[in-house]
Amino acid sequence: MATSKSELRLDGKVALITGASRGIGAAIALGLASTGANIIVNHASSAEQANSLVTDIQEMGVEAVAIKADVSRVEEKPYFRAIQWNRSGGTKTNMFHENAWKYIPGGTKDTPPEVIEAETRKLTPLDHCGLPEDISNVVRFLVHPQAGWINGQMVTISGGATV
């Protein structure tokens, strides 16, 4: 049976997304907000981008707040900040997506984007270099109750590169 977009609503749920100020994290935040979820945008240093994203999300008609926390420091873990926010009048956090990453020398940050895209296209039979929205679409489904039977799985989002 086909599932309509209206059935994949997350109205009133709250999602905490680390590393949400840009890229994949921002796409996930916008994707979940488009389903009616309220969003906690975590950032470590990109306050301007995080606040801009919060404004964009609020314009979609849902609640959003930015929380600054460095996930590499346990005392700053954003879920602890989210709990504090919840206790101060916010609502219960229903979803948590850890998207933040620590820079590793020699990683993607050192490789020009056009090189990454060219290498990815070589590996992908769909001739498509994945976009942040491609990841967001999968996350949007997996956090929904209709995906509740999917547990403890590693979902590879590769455009067929690992087939």
Which regions of the chain does DSSP assign to beta strands (E)?
A: 14-17, 38-43, 64-68, 95-97
Q: What is the pTM of this model?
A: 0.76
Q: With cut-offs at 50, 70 and 90, classify the pLDDT of residue 50.
A: very high
Stronger pLDDT, 19 or 77, i.e. the higher one: 19
Rg, Å, the chain Cα set: 17
- Cβ atoms of 33 and 10 within 8 Å: the answer is no
pLDDT in tens, 92-112: 556 656 665 554 555 556 678
CA 151 to mean position of chain CA atoms? 18
Whether domain 12-147 has CATH 3.20.20.70: the reply is no
The Cα 106–Cα 22 span in angstroms is 21
* Residue that has been written with the tokens 């984007």 in this structure: 113
Average confidence score pLDDT of the chain: 79
Q: Which helix H or strand E contains 76, and what residues bound it?
A: none
pLDDT for res 95: 62
Q: Domain-by-domain residue ranges, the chain? A: 12-147
Q: Which helix H or strand E contains 119, and what residues bound it?
A: helix 113-123
Stronger pLDDT, 5 or 152, i.e. the higher one: 152
- Cβ atoms of 159 and 124 within 8 Å: the answer is yes
